[in-house]
Amino acid sequence: MIDQVIDELKNYDGKQVKIMEVCGTHTSSIFKNGIRSMISPKIQLISGPGCPVCVTPSAYIDKLTEYSRKENHCVLTFGDMMKVKGSKMTLTEAKAAGGRVKILYSPLMAIAEAEQNREIQYIFAAVGFETTVPVYALLLEEIRQKKLKNLKLMTSLKTIVPALSFICENEKNIDGFLSPGHVSVITGSIAYRELAARYRKPFVIAGFEGEHILAAIYEIMTQIKKQRFEVKNMYASAVTEKGNQKAAAFIKEYFEAADGFWRGIGVIEGSALKLKEEYGAFDAGSAEEELLEDMPIGCKCTEVILGRINPSDCPLFKTACNPLHAVGPCMVSPEGSCGIWYQNS
Cα torsion 18, 19, 20, 24: sign: negative
Number of domains in the chain: 3
Q: Are residues 108 and 30 in the same domain?
A: no
| pLDDT attached to residue 345 | 82
In a domain, 238, yes or no: no
**pLDDT tens-digit profile of 192-203?**
999 999 999 999
In a domain, 132, yes or no: yes
Q: Are residues 176 and 228 in the same domain?
A: yes
Q: What is the CATH number of the domain that holds 17?
A: 3.40.50.11750
List the domain range (segments joined by +) for residue 83. Answer: 53-159+243-282
Q: Is the pLDDT of residue 5 over 90?
A: yes
Q: Are residues 326 and 270 in the same domain?
A: no
Percent of the chain with pLDDT over 90: 91
In a domain, 292, yes or no: no
In a domain, 57, yes or no: yes
Q: What is the CATH number of the domain that holds 110?
A: 3.40.50.11740
Q: Are residues 309 and 221 in the same domain?
A: no
Among 10-19, 68-77, 333-342, the range scoring the smallest mean pLDDT is 333-342
| pLDDT attached to residue 293 | 57
| 127-138 average pLDDT score | 96
Among 79-88, 291-300, 306-315, the range scoring the smallest mean pLDDT is 291-300
Q: Are residues 267 and 142 in the same domain?
A: yes
| 259-276 average pLDDT score | 94
| 309-320 average pLDDT score | 96
**pLDDT tens-digit profile of 133-174?**
999 999 999 999 999 999 999 999 999 999 999 999 999 999
Query: Is pTM, for the whole model, over 0.75?
Result: yes
Q: 126-129 — which CB contacts under 8 Å span 24+ positions?
A: 126/153, 126/154, 126/155, 126/156, 126/157, 127/52, 127/53, 127/56, 127/78, 127/81, 127/155, 127/156, 127/157, 128/52, 128/157, 128/158, 129/50, 129/52, 129/157, 129/158, 129/159, 129/160, 129/180, 129/183
